Structure 1
Amino acid sequence: MKKVAFIFPGQGSQAVGMGKALYDYSNDVQAAFQQADTLLNTPLSSFIFEGPEATLTKTEHAQPALLLVSSLLVRQLKEHGVNPSMVAGHSLGEYSALVAAGALSMDDALKLVQTRGRLMEQAVPTGQGAMAAILGLDAKSIQEVTESITKQGEVVEVANFNCPGQIVISGTKMGVEQACVQLKEKGAKRAIALNVSGPFHSSLMKPASREFQVALEQVTFHDAEVPVYANVTAEPVQEKAVIPNLLIEQLYSPVRFEEILQRMMEQDLDAIVEVGNGKVLSGLVRKVNRRMKTFAIQDPESLQTFMDWYKED
């Protein structure tokens, strides 16, 4: 049996029309989409399949939409006899990973991420926060600049360690703009503003984390069946008692995705499989280790391609 890890995309990977081929493929999937609409009291399926893009991109819609598509793809994989040896997700994707590992039910996760998305949008008024991807500069240089600007009164912090040469910063609009100018002067190849609604994974999200703790207390967690690599620590966890606190910290802490990938690759994997819309994380895997076998499963066709490989002797 081949040894595979599942990884799950986060916000930004959503696209109008995602999951439609999966929806058309199975009556069970259609029923699950309809149940999600009822559970969340919102026409999520319509936003996913028809848009408009601006509505789907809203954090409180994008997060459950991505989780729903990823979790239903996992369901298909498990029905084909594929179970991961370990899982991880990028930011929001950590919830999809917890569902895949049996630590959270899909229904509970959908409600949680809808609440999470709403609180994240409310934490900082629209237009006052920003994020940017910094390409081609080392983490130490980036942290020196962000710490210097923050000391002067404008918050800007490292939000995502994605892969070698790609680090995301987050903070006030002014802080991020100042950092982008200074980082390019320091040698960054590019500084790309991200199309997000807030300064995620920065200390500006702490107000959201306090309210989110209340939502987490209403949910039943289970011990994970396989290791889940946590965004906050880049360490594998399985104990239900520690998972909620990691999810609270995740809101205002950096995503240590490069470390997560490195640690997964130390476990003798045959492949890392991105489960959900897009191929963003597969690209990060290749930047960490070009020799690592990767798959991106987002529809029945890509599922079949993976299964053909999985069944080979």
Structure 2
Amino acid sequence: MSSRKTAVLVCPGRGTYNKDELGYLGRHFPDPALLAAFNAERAAQGQDTLSDLDGAERFSLARHTRGDNASGLIFAATLGDVLSIDRERIDVVAVTGNSMGWYSALACAGAVTPSDGFTIANTMGTLMQQALIGGQLVYPFLGPDWVPDPARKAALLEHVAQIDAREGHVLALSIDLGGMLVLAGNETGLKAFETEAEPVEGRFPMRLGNHAAFHTQLQGPVAERGRAALPESLFGQPRVPLVDGRGAIWWPHATNMAALRGYTLGQQVTETYDFTRTIAVAAREFAPDLFIVTGPGTTLGGAVAQSLILANWRGMGSKTDFKARQDSPDGTGPLLVSMGMAEQRGLVARQ
């Protein structure tokens, strides 16, 4: 009987390369030649290289979180972590991601080459930075116990719809992110929610710096420019199944490349990204031994855990239930591993 553990890979999106992640590529990226190729592509476009950004003396919010810089850094950090996974111990059975993590997932599942995946991520990040249409904020609907509260979620989404219906206001659900609602819209719509929503924990609603109105119709012009820049020839058959932002599965040997490109540069850009559903589908369809959240950052692990609770995966109904399973009293190991955490990385990475 094989001792390998089955795993679903989860690729993080924007907002995960921050001060603590500075130097992440220098510490963890395992393929110097591939990183040099990424650097060369950016240098040819007059952009700072990833090595220069990652090796900076200090982290700069204005510089490192720009879409044209953050997307490349996050893609490379994610890909480097996936390349570092010990495949003798880990059998990757599916790949998914959050928001721009979909571009990383395409490469990690083999639906595009690492170089083409970088081109897609870097191009879309650059186009979004150039346009910078609208903005995003986050707001929780789960309490500190993470017990599902569908009524509260429904009430908040109804409030969002009411704001969106006002003249001159645009507001929509951008990402359904476990126990968080990521909302996006124009300044008027965002400001209305910030003014009217009950403050939570002294920091929510929280505006996200250098973020546009991702996954809304406001991104239509960006999607159009992406389609003009990125041909179908970049896309191929995935080597392992991909779960997208709708919860749809793209299977090896059964994927239509035109449809995959159409989703990636169409609906994925302009409609709600349902991360909560992607995790539920991945859990139920592939029943993995564990979920591996790649770096950079450590913040996506909570959303994965909350999504599993919302799906009642393995009977978990609260944060207490998840912690009990994560602490593994049966000796099987944790359910969730975050590679951005030094103490967990060694559980799945080559030594």
TM-score by length of 2: 0.78
**For residue 25 of structure 2, what is the amino acid of its counterpart?**
G
Cα distance 1:11–1:96, how it changes in 2: closer, same or farther (>3 A)?
A: same
Alignment correspondent of 2:239: 225
Is residue 66 of structure 2 the alignment partner of residue 58 of structure 1? Answer: yes
* CA-to-aligned-CA distance 1:96-145 (integer Å, 9 cap, x gap): 111111101111111111110121123346xxx22111112733223222
**For residue 252 of structure 1, what is the amino acid of its counterpart?**
T
**For residue 262 of structure 1, what is the amino acid of its counterpart?**
A
Alignment correspondent of 2:174: 159
Q: Among residues 331, 336, 339, which one is paired with 1:294 in the alignment?
A: 336
| RMSD over equivalenced CA pairs, Å | 2.6
Alignment correspondent of 1:111: 119
**For residue 155 of structure 1, what is the amino acid of its counterpart?**
V
Q: Residue 247 of structure 2: SS of its match in structure 1?
A: coil
Alignment correspondent of 1:235: 248
Alignment correspondent of 1:84: 92
Alignment correspondent of 1:285: 304
Q: Among residues 12, 23, 27, which one is paired with 1:17 in the alignment?
A: 23
Alignment correspondent of 1:214: 228
CA contact (8 A) 2:63 2:69 kept: yes
1:196, 1:91 → 2: CA distance?
Answer: 15
Q: Residue 169 of structure 1: SS of its match in structure 2?
A: strand
Instruction: Tell which deviates more after alignment, 135-144 or 58-67.
Output: 135-144
Is residue 226 of structure 2 the alignment partner of residue 181 of structure 1? Answer: no
Q: Residue 205 of structure 2: SS of its match in structure 1?
A: strand
Q: Residue 273 of structure 1: SS of its match in structure 2?
A: strand
Alignment correspondent of 1:257: 275
Is residue 298 of structure 2 the alignment partner of residue 268 of structure 1? Answer: no
Q: Residue 305 of structure 1: SS of its match in structure 2?
A: coil
Q: Residue 158 of structure 1: SS of its match in structure 2?
A: strand
* CA-to-aligned-CA distance 1:23-79 (integer Å, 9 cap, x gap): 4xx5xx222222211022232211122154222211011101111111122122266
2:123, 2:296 → 1: CA distance?
Answer: 21
2:349, 2:131 → 1: CA distance?
Answer: 42
Cα distance 1:136–1:59, how it changes in 2: closer, same or farther (>3 A)?
A: same
Is residue 22 of structure 2 the alignment partner of residue 3 of structure 1? Answer: no
Q: For structure 2, list consecutive stretches of 5 or more residues without a partner in the other structure.
A: 143-151, 310-321, 327-334
Q: Among residues 28, 32, 42, which one is paired with 1:30 in the alignment?
A: 32
1:154, 1:198 → 2: CA distance?
Answer: 16
* CA-to-aligned-CA distance 1:190-241 (integer Å, 9 cap, x gap): 312222332222211111111111122264211112211111x211113133
2:222, 2:125 → 1: CA distance?
Answer: 10
- Percent identity of equivalent pairs: 20
How far apart are 1:307 and its partner, in Å?
Answer: 5.1
Q: Among residues 31, 39, 46, which one is paired with 2:52 in the alignment?
A: 46
> For this pair of structures, how many residues does the alignment match?
299
* CA-to-aligned-CA distance 1:241-283 (integer Å, 9 cap, x gap): 3211111211121110111111112132100001121112211
**For residue 160 of structure 1, what is the amino acid of its counterpart?**
I
Alignment correspondent of 1:311: none
1:98, 1:105 → 2: CA distance?
Answer: 8
CA contact (8 A) 1:60 1:113 kept: no
* CA-to-aligned-CA distance 1:152-185 (integer Å, 9 cap, x gap): 2211111010013x11110111211102333329
**For residue 47 of structure 1, what is the amino acid of its counterpart?**
L
Q: Residue 19 of structure 1: SS of its match in structure 2?
A: helix
Q: For structure 1, list consecutive stretches of 5 or more residues without a partner in the other structure.
A: 309-313
Cα distance 1:62–1:219, how it changes in 2: closer, same or farther (>3 A)?
A: farther
2:153, 2:342 → 1: CA distance?
Answer: 39
CA contact (8 A) 2:169 2:188 kept: yes
Aligned ranges 1:88-103 → 2 under 5 Å: 88-103=96-111
2:214, 2:343 → 1: CA distance?
Answer: 33
1:142, 1:102 → 2: CA distance?
Answer: 38
**For residue 22 of structure 1, what is the amino acid of its counterpart?**
H
2:165, 2:289 → 1: CA distance?
Answer: 45
**For residue 67 of structure 1, what is the amino acid of its counterpart?**
F
Cα distance 1:214–1:174, how it changes in 2: closer, same or farther (>3 A)?
A: same
CA contact (8 A) 1:40 1:110 kept: no
CA contact (8 A) 2:6 2:93 kept: yes
TM-score by length of 1: 0.87
Cα distance 1:163–1:301, how it changes in 2: closer, same or farther (>3 A)?
A: closer
